[in-house]
């Protein structure tokens, strides 16, 4: 499993690791980076991840983008599942064509491995200001994600989706509930 949201101190990988172990499931994380504790509940914690704090989708005007790392990291680390939450920094900095760039990133990831399950989460609303123009952009980006997931994807087939509240599947102690889109290519 590769994670594309870094998370402070291990982020949501800690409760995910606990849930997997509680359910007697084996889980590991893969990626080019390492963060989090050495152990969780007395068990060795797999610290690898592909989270990049402060990055946007594509490198633009000197701002680093995560798209530069994919599909190479998928080929190298061979994840079965990718949890992707990206777009907060794009919205915050006023980047353009964010949904199109996300669709291209998704296709790049799915083209790298036709058996990959790509889980794309909507981004968390920002603190409200007056006027609340930032959250208008967050809502617009989040509203585009379901259509991206359902649109024709890479040559492996269609992206498919199932919507479920992230709060129902994984505790998020420091972030409000969001909606997650689960997507994967169709199998022949």
pLDDT of residue 168: 34
pLDDT of residue 121: 86
Q: Give the highest mean pLDDT range of 30-34, 114-118, 154-158.
A: 30-34
Q: What is the pLDDT of residues 92-113, one digit of tens each?
A: 999 999 999 999 999 999 889 8
* Number of domains the chain is built from: 1
Which CATH number is 89's domain given?
A: 3.40.50.1110
Check pLDDT > 80 for residue 6. Answer: no
d(C-alpha 171, C-alpha 76), whole Å: 30
Domain that holds residue 145: 2-185
Q: Are 176 and 125 in contact (CB under 8 A)?
A: yes
Check pLDDT > 60 for residue 165. Answer: no
Q: Which residues are CB-neighbours of 91 under 8 A, at least 6 positions away?
A: 98, 123, 126, 134, 137, 138, 141
Nearest to 185 by CA among 101, 121, 114, 120: 114
- Hey, what are 134's tokens? 């930032």
Residue 103, judged by CB atoms within 10 A of its CB (0-12, 13-18, 19+), counts as buried
pTM of the entire predicted model: 0.78
Strand partners of residue 48: 34
């Amino acid at each position: 499993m590769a994670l594309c949201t870094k998370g402070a101190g291990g982020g949501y990988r800690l409760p995910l690791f606990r849930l997997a172990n509680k359910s007697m499931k084996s889980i590991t994380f893969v990626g080019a980076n390492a963060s989090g504790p050495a152990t969780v509940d007395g068990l060795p914690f797999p610290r690898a991840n592909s989270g990049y704090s402060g990055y946007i989708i594509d490198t633009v005007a000197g701002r680093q983008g995560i798209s530069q790392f994919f599909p190479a990291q998928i080929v190298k680390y061979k994840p079965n599942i990718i949890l992707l939450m990206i777009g907060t920094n794009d919205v915050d900095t006023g980047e353009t064509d964010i949904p199109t760039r996300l669709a291209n990133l998704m296709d790049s990831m799915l083209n790298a491995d036709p058996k990959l399950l790509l889980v794309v989460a909507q981004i968390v609303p920002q603190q409200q200001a007056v006027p609340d123009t930032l959250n208008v952009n967050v809502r617009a980006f989040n509203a585009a994600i379901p259509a991206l997931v359902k649109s024709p994807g890479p040559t492996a087939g269609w992206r498919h989706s199932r919507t479920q509240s992230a709060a129902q599947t994984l505790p998020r102690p420091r972030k409000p509930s969001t909606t997650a889109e689960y997507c994967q290519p169709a199998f022949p």
